[in-house]
Amino acid sequence: MCARCLVLVSSLLNSNRLTMLIDRDLKIDEQCHNYGQFLKEFSVILAFSFPDRINYYALNCNNYFKSASSRIRSNAAHMTGYLLGELTPELRSTVSKELIFAGLMLLLKDHDIDVRLSTARAISCLHRYT
């Protein structure tokens, strides 16, 4: 369902790199073959295509940490790690670290093991933060 949505709206994203990634990796009637790699590439391209919106995107991911769906919580954690992990020091300074990192810490205590694993993986992407 999400892949179908991204394919349909990709031309509205105003980023040729995002559109090319979506066209390459997502098909309307097929599952993504390597979703983790797609999410990582998508997040990095999104961050550097729209650097003024990074904090907004990260805070929105943080909102999904409270979802009733464990799959959504897992994906929100992954996307947060990927989105913030490759940022330059200048871009890292624009992020509301305390709020976002506090949300990740809460996810480490989630009742679902997959959410905890996803969160640990996401946190491992954030080693450049001090």
What is the per-residue pLDDT across 69-120, written as a single tens digit (0 to 9) for each? 999 999 999 999 999 999 999 999 999 999 999 999 999 999 999 999 999 9
Identify the burial level of 56 via C-beta atoms within 10 angstroms of its C-beta, where 0-12 means exposed, 13-18 middle and 19 or more buried.
Answer: exposed
Mean of per-residue pLDDT scores for the chain: 91
Q: Which of 24, 25, 28 is nearest to 7 (CA)?
A: 28
Domains of the chain with CATH codes: 1-33 (no CATH), 46-124 (1.25.10)
C-beta neighbour count of 54 within 10 angstroms: 19
pLDDT tens string 28-69: 667 777 888 988 999 999 999 999 999 999 999 999 999 999
Is the CA virtual torsion 102, 108, 111, 113 positive or negative?
positive
